[in-house]
Amino acid sequence: MKFPHVSFQPLRRLIHPAFLYDTSDDSRKWLWLICPSLCFGIFFLHAGLDRFRVGLSGGLGVFFCGLTGLVVGAAVALVFAFLAWLCCRICRQKRALLRLVSPACGVFQIPLLLQVCSLLFGLPFAVPAVSAFGLTALLWALILMIGMLHDLFDRKLWLSLPCVTLAGIVLLSSLQLIVLFR
């Protein structure tokens, strides 16, 4: 895979998650699951805190909301890695499923930063910023998914768009799990 030249390695990994396919250490690829787990965990926790502020949920509900976000984040990243692998198999490209875990988790780096900003902005000012920051984070994740799949499919957009559409459906469906805590 050819990547645009970015000299600073952490910035390169942030902008091009597909770069992690070639450079991720096999022994530490599962550590990347922390990124989407924290991203969704903070999003769900912030939603639970907003519900707590208006009296719709108790403290235990906030805890379970955040815990559900941690599990959903890991599941969404693994489903996305599976969808990318499945699309690669359909297109007869040889990509290892376990090697796709770290790039699939890497697309949640910028959304995680947005979720941390959501907490930093929302907690002190008691502003329900979950929808603004959460939807922005979702859009960033989808943009990075398009870029990652575009690179994995050797810049063939017609191959990556159906997989990104399925991944977008999974992302939107996972956000509907907040409704469970009404």
Among the listed residues 78, 125, 86, the one whose alpha carbon sits nearest the alpha carbon of residue 103: 78
Query: For all residues of the chain together, what is the average pLDDT?
Result: 76
Number of domains in the chain: 1
Residue 2 has pLDDT above 50, yes or no: no
The answer to whether residue 111 is domain-embedded is: yes
Q: Residue 20 — pLDDT band, cuts 50, 70, 90? A: low
Q: Residue 5 — pLDDT band, cuts 50, 70, 90? A: very low
The answer to whether residue 3 is domain-embedded is: no
Tokens matching residue 141: 């994740």
The answer to whether residue 163 is domain-embedded is: yes
The answer to whether residue 109 is domain-embedded is: yes
- Per the model's pLDDT, the better-predicted residue between 169 and 3 turns out to be 169
Residue 17 has pLDDT above 60, yes or no: no
What are 106-155's pLDDT values in tens digits?
Answer: 888 888 888 888 888 777 776 766 667 777 888 888 888 887 777 777 77
Instruction: Give the residue numbers spanning the domain of 127.
Output: 30-181
Under a CB-based contact definition with an 8 Å cutoff, are residues 109 and 16 in contact?
no
- Location of structure tokens 């902005």: 121
Q: How does DSSP assign the chain, residue by residue?
A: ------SSHHHHHHH-TTHHHHH--TTTGGGGGHHHHHHHHHHHHHHHHHHHHTTSS-HHHHHHHHHHHHHHHHHHHHHHHHHHHHHHHHTT----TGGGHHHHHHTTHHHHHHHHHHHHHHHHHT---HHHHHHHHHHHHHHHHHHHHHHHTTT-HHHHHHHHHHHHHHHHHHHGGGGGG-
The answer to whether residue 12 is domain-embedded is: no
pLDDT recorded at residue 7:
46
pLDDT recorded at residue 26:
59
The answer to whether residue 7 is domain-embedded is: no
What are 78-112's pLDDT values in tens digits?
Answer: 888 888 888 878 777 777 777 778 888 888 888 88
- Distance in angstroms (rounded) separating the CA atoms of residues 26 and 31: 10
% of the chain exceeding 90 in pLDDT? 2
pLDDT recorded at residue 23:
52
> Average pLDDT in the 20-41 region?
73
pLDDT recorded at residue 8:
47
The answer to whether residue 37 is domain-embedded is: yes
Residue 28 has pLDDT above 80, yes or no: no
The answer to whether residue 13 is domain-embedded is: no
